[in-house]
Chain A
């Protein structure tokens, strides 16, 4: 299984909407895709599991969607603390990450 994330870097301003893509090859027969956020010097933090379920204590500005080959993590309005690297994961595969940076 190969997970390809796009874009590699997303340059946005606080308050803007962020859409991060994760494409699976081959297609996932189940929607068990997770998303993580990682800030420098910190371990990853689970945001979303089962493609669309928010983990405990994750703000509702984070949402996940998708099925099969195409999955999306959306941050509805970027807060300053949301600028970080985001990874998708399915079973034993991780994507290469998308960096969300301040424009």
Chain B
């Protein structure tokens, strides 16, 4: 099982961005994919999860409206997108394979992370 994310990005405020996460070694559509943000030296923050089978999504209230998750199961890839980036400290975004149950959600495999820097 492997999740491979796209490379680091440096963008200006107002620009758009789409980062990717490609899964391999398992049936991609059988597992939700989650996104997690980590600012330098800070805690993990749950962004949201998406079901690649039907693109059902669940967002953290902190990120809803700020980012858009999508997935293309035909190419085993999930995406995290911003339509208009805001200036901020660099942040690492991880994708992770999620185990989702009625009351349970945890991440059993993680991508290597994509560093996003937004600066004028």
- Using a CB–CB distance below 8 Å, which chain A residues touch chain B? 29-30, 32, 34, 36, 38, 43-46, 49-50, 55-56, 87, 89, 91-97
A74–B9 CA distance with the chains assembled, in angstroms: 38
Contact partners of B58 in chain A: CB under 8 A: 92
Chain B residues with CB below 8 A from A91, complex form: 103-105
A55 near B104 (CB under 8 angstroms)? no
9 A-B residue pairings within 8 Å (CB atoms): A32-B101, A32-B104, A32-B106, A38-B44, A43-B110, A44-B44, A46-B106, A56-B108, A89-B46
Q: Measured between alpha carbons, how far is A50 from B96 in the docked complex, in Å?
A: 18
Which residues of A lie under 8 Å from residue B46 when comparing CB positions? 89, 92-94
Contact among B43, B101, B103, B107 with A95 in the assembled complex (CB-CB below 8 Å): B43
Is residue B84 contacting chain A, with contact meaning CB distance below 8 A?
no
CB-defined contacts of A87 to chain B, threshold 8 Å:
43-44
A32 to B104, CA, bound (A): 5
Closest CB of chain B to A70's CB: distance in Å? 18
Would you give the 0/1 interface string for B69-113, flagging 1 where the beta carbon is closer than 8 Å to chain A?
Answer: 000000000000000000000000010100101011111111111
Q: Which residues of chain B are near A34, meaning CB under 8 Å?
A: 106-107
Asked if B45 and A45 sit within 8 Å, CB to CB, the answer is: no
A43 interface neighbour in B45, B60, B105, B113, Cβ under 8 Å: B113
Please tell me if the beta carbons of B110 and A30 are within 8 angstroms of each other in the complex: no
Q: By CB atoms of chain B within 10 A, which of A30, A43, A45, A87 has the most?
A: A43
